[in-house]
């Protein structure tokens, strides 16, 4: 069953229009690996097979842009923040991964704009709630959610 589903997906995937992220939430949800927008020096999407650039990072659970970006410092995380061993192959792999990302997260508005789709994690579950933004409030009208 899965073989036919994946085959169908692969047959329509090349014809899909690529949409650039429009806000920080969309950007940081981007997958690092097998993403045609993020490519290595050879123009290939980053992989996780064998000795590829991202194998160690994927095994450690770092698979999305948000895993490499520090919201507090507005900088890319260093290897110790990622809890990765600091050795030459991890350092160069991290540089390849960061270098493949054509956008800087701090250049995006942190707020969703009308027409954006956003998601928020559901507390205590691996599910996410997905919302379509109809209207953006002015800063003075912003609703504060208490956790």
Query: What is the spatial distance between Cα 67 and Cα 86, in angstroms, rounded to a whole number?
Result: 17
For residue 95, pLDDT over 70 is answered with: yes
Lowest-confidence segment of 41-50, 57-66, 70-79, 98-107 by average pLDDT: 41-50
**Tens-digit pLDDT profile for residues 98-116:** 888 888 887 776 666 788 7
Query: What is the spatial distance between Cα 46 and Cα 82, in angstroms, rounded to a whole number?
Result: 18
Query: What is the spatial distance between Cα 52 and Cα 22, in angstroms, rounded to a whole number?
Result: 29
Query: What is the spatial distance between Cα 75 and Cα 131, in angstroms, rounded to a whole number?
Result: 28
Query: What is the spatial distance between Cα 78 and Cα 85, in angstroms, rounded to a whole number?
Result: 11
The Cα-based distances of 55 to 30, 60, 96 in angstroms read 17, 9, 12
The answer to whether 21 and 82 have CB atoms below 8 angstroms apart is no
The mean per-residue pLDDT over the stretch 36-56 comes to 78
Sign of CA dihedral 108, 110, 113, 118: positive
pTM surpassing 0.95? no
For residue 147, pLDDT over 50 is answered with: no
Three-state SS for 31? strand
């Amino acid at each position: 069953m899965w073989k036919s589903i994946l085959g169908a997906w692969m047959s329509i995937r090349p014809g899909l229009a690529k949409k650039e992220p429009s806000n920080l939430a969309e950007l940081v949800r981007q997958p690092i690996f097998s993403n045609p927008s993020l490519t290595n020096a050879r123009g290939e999407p980053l992989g996780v097979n064998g000795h590829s650039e991202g194998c160690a990072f994927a095994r450690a659970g770092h698979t999305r842009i948000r895993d490499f970006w520090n919201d507090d410092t507005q900088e890319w995380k260093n290897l110790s923040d990622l809890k990765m061993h600091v050795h030459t192959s991890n350092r160069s792999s991290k540089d390849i991964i960061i270098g493949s990302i054509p956008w800087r997260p701090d250049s995006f508005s942190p707020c969703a704009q009308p027409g954006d789709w956003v998601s928020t994690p559901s507390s205590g579950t691996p599910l996410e709630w997905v919302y379509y933004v109809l209207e953006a409030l002015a800063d003075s009208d912003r609703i504060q959610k208490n956790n």
